[in-house]
Every structure is written in structure tokens, then in C-alpha cells.
Amino acid sequence: MDALLRAAMAVFAASGVDAPVREIAEKAGVGVGTVYRHFPQRSDLIKAIVRQEVDACAEAAAGLAAQHAPGEALALWMQRLVSFVTTKRGLGAALHSGDPAYQSLPDYFLGRLIPALQSLLSAAAAAGAVRADVEARELLLAAARLAVPGSDGDVTQARRMVALLVDGLRYGAITPANAALQAKKARRNSPRCS
């Protein structure tokens, strides 16, 4: 089934979501009946692709957190998000068509990716790599919107824009050393009781 989803994604990216099912079947090395047995409607296939990509992006957070420092893990995951958004190329017309078959996808996207991002964001803030007042939902939506130009083919620009967004999160970050210094200054400047 993974091969079928990868083939469909490649065909949709090259030929659009209205590409013939036989083209998807040929690319996957299966018969047309196999495609229809797993995905009776084209919308079923599109939803399966999107869910698979969302799940892979969400699951990448834990691996990145285990292998990298918190700030770096966050930055790498944000670039992974750009990759996800740009792989939707070819699916955009269907996803934004108003077809009721896709109504559950935005909630699925947010429900899976907000917790993944929140874990990375919290760890980075605790490490003093980014500011602590950023909400995962807002950051996710901002990054997804910045990555949209990549769906038109300019992935490099989308990556730069999201990297700038992540760089901006560092402004106002409270490192452990800064926190200790601020606490010391506060104690010095606090009124003393006689």
C-alpha cells in the first residue's frame, strides 16, 4: 500500500490530481483494480496520502529530539514541515476544492502536528534556544503559510522564509545564564524593608 501511495503522490505532483488511475497503477506496478479495491474514490486516495505525510512529519519530531540539541531539532523539524507542505504539490486543487470529503483533514493536520511541534518548542524554550511565549498552533500555521510558495516550485525560498521565522524565535530567549542575571538584578533593585 505504501508503494501505491508513493506512486500516486508522484503522479499527482507531475500530472495533477485528475491524472488517470491507470497511470498511478502502472507507476505502482499494480492493476487498476488494486487501486480501486484499496481506494474506491479518488478522494480516499488523496486523504490517505495526506494522512500518511502528516503522520510521518509528526513522528519525525521524536527522532529529531533524540538526535539533536533542542534548538536544532526544532529548526530541522520546521524544515521537515516545509518538505511536507511542498509534497502536497498537485493536491492543492483537490484539498481546497470545498469537497466535503476533505473536511476532516485540517483538524487531522492540527491534531497531529501541534503536539509534535509543542514538544520540540517546549524543549527548545527550556534550553534557552527560543523564547518561551510562542504558541505551537500559531507557529505551525505561520510556517505552513510561509511554505506555500514552495508548492509553486520554489522550495528554496520557502526553506529560507521558514528558517527566518525560526531565527526570529531566538529573539528574547531566556537562557539559564540570562535568567540568573535577571534574577540577580531584580534582587538588587527590589525595595528593602527596614
Tens of pLDDT along the chain (194 residues)?
888 999 998 888 888 888 899 999 999 999 999 999 999 998 899 899 989 999 999 999 999 999 999 999 999 999 999 988 887 666 766 777 778 888 888 899 999 999 999 999 999 999 999 999 999 999 999 999 898 865 556 789 999 999 999 999 998 887 665 555 555 655 666 665 55
Residue 193 included in any domain: no
- CATH number of the domain where residue 58 is located: 1.10.357.10
Is 173 among the domain residues? yes
Residue 45 lies in a domain: no
Indicate whether 55 and 109 sit together in one domain: yes
Pair 175, 90 in one domain: yes
Closest CA to 172 of 119, 101, 124, 110: 124
State how far the alpha carbon of 115 is from the alpha carbons of 86, 102, 121, in Å.
Answer: 21, 22, 10
Whether residue 190 is contained in a domain is answered as: no
Burial of residue 50 (CB within 10 Å: 0-12, 13-18, 19+) is buried
Where does residue 130 fall: left (phi above 0), alpha (psi -120 to 50 degrees), or beta otherwise?
beta
pLDDT at position 89: 60
Rounded Cα gap, residues 10 and 23, in angstroms: 10
Q: According to the model, what pLDDT value does residue 73 have?
A: 98
Assess whether 35 and 76 both reside in one domain: no
Task: Give the chain's domain count.
Answer: 2
pLDDT at 155 (0 to 100)? 86
| Cβ 88 vs Cβ 151: under 8 Å | yes
Predicted pLDDT at 136: 97
177 and 143 within one domain: yes
CATH of the domain at 19: 1.10.10.60
Determine how many CB atoms are found less than 10 A away from the CB of residue 34: 14
Backbone φ/ψ region at 44: left (φ over 0), alpha (ψ -120 to 50), beta: alpha
Q: Are residue 73 and residue 27 in the same domain, yes or no?
A: no
Domain that holds residue 22: 1-40
Task: Tell me the whole-structure pTM to 2 decimals.
Answer: 0.81
Are 93 and 130 in the same domain?
A: yes
Whether 31 and 67 map to the same domain: the answer is no
Supply the pLDDT for residue 82: 92
Structure confidence at residue 85 (pLDDT): 86
Answer yes or no: do 55 and 34 share one domain: no
Same domain? 4 vs 64: no
Statement to judge: residues 23 and 62 lie in one domain: no
Per-residue pLDDT at 27: 93
